[in-house]
Amino acid sequence: MGQDRSRNGRIALFFTGYIALIMVAALLGAGGIGAGIGAVKLGKTGMVAKMVLASVYGGAVMWTLLLGFA
């Protein structure tokens, strides 16, 4: 029969996944800051703001539908 993971092993896996998630979020956040700085330098802040807000709205609508709160 298979051996179940110990409690300490599950905690270690959880923290490993959590740290990986934080690293990915930091990387994506840094890219967003870089895109914002580039938009200001190019004078395209209005267009970038529209795209960002539209994507946030679209994501919120999609998550609402997926979670069944529509």
For 1, 5, 53, 57, 63, the CA distances from 49, given in Å and listed in that order, are 56, 47, 6, 12, 21
Residue range 39-67: mean pLDDT, rounded: 87
Q: At which residue do the structure tokens 């270690």 appear?
A: 12
What confidence tens digit (pLDDT) does each residue in 21-30 have? 898 888 877 8
Query: Residue 8 pLDDT > 70, yes or no?
Result: yes
CA 22 to chain centre: 9
CA dihedral 35, 39, 41, 44 (to 10 degrees): 170
Residue range 40-64: mean pLDDT, rounded: 88
Spell out the domain ranges in the chain.
7-67
Global pTM value: 0.48
